[in-house]
Amino acid sequence: MTVRQLAYRLYTARLRRRLQDAALPRHIGLIIDGNRRWARQEGLASPSDGHRHGAAHIWDALSWCQSAGIKHVTVFVCSAENLARRDDTEVTALMEIIEQVVVAKIATPDPAWQVHVAGLVDMLPGSTALALKDAAEATSHCPTGAHVTLCVGYGGRQEIVEAVRALLEERAEAGASLADVARTIRPEDIARRLAGAGQPEPDLIIRTSGEQRLSNFLLWQGTDAYLHFCDCHWPAFREIDFLRALRDFAARQRRQPG
């Protein structure tokens, strides 16, 4: 073990100890940005190599959350806009990677996490949509009480539009007029049709790659979330970076008025 590796392990252990009695988030959102840029920096042949490393790294992050006792995680895997802008070869490779990670890492016979899916799933390639739906079904009886929501082909604005549309259609089928709906609609009527319904709303959203924006992620659910931006790209995001985000969140909690 090098001196640097030893120092990293000691500092990681120190951060863990400091967080033992701290106020930690119940629900974390992860914007896993920078896979393609990381691949270029590493001299890898294809952006898909970055996506592959980034997808595998999701499991590392879930393990860190599990160790910290955080039982709700929402991961922004890819946006609807990204799927529309990227070339077909890259999108196909990304979908294959998502399928492999879901099947091999998260949706195991003895799952640690119950999988939920958000986004325009039916617009994805058939095999990807099926893999995500099968993962949700296979983990539906996960005994740990831990939940991970995978946002694939996702957009926060579209999600809100779809939630309002579903509400209007449901009320119309029940015979309500538009005036009735307008008079009685409540925020919770929309909230229960969004990703993460029934779970606590995110307390903390972490974004990698140095970008400081939400990029259409959890626009409704993340209203009160603290934001933490990390300069490193997602595949290079370390446990120590994760623990620092928790430390900053805990410090903000201490500063809140009683």
Q: Which residues are catalytic?
A: 33, 82
Output phi, psi for 29, to 5 deg.
-100, 140
- DSSP code for 108: -
Output phi, psi for 134, to 5 deg.
-65, -40
Give the span between the Cα atoms of 196 and 172, in whole angstroms.
25
- Residue for token digits 């993460």? 196
Parallel, antiparallel, or unpaired for β 27-31 and 147-154?
unpaired
Residue 79 · residue 157 · CB < 8 Å: no
Residue 51 · residue 227 · CB < 8 Å: no
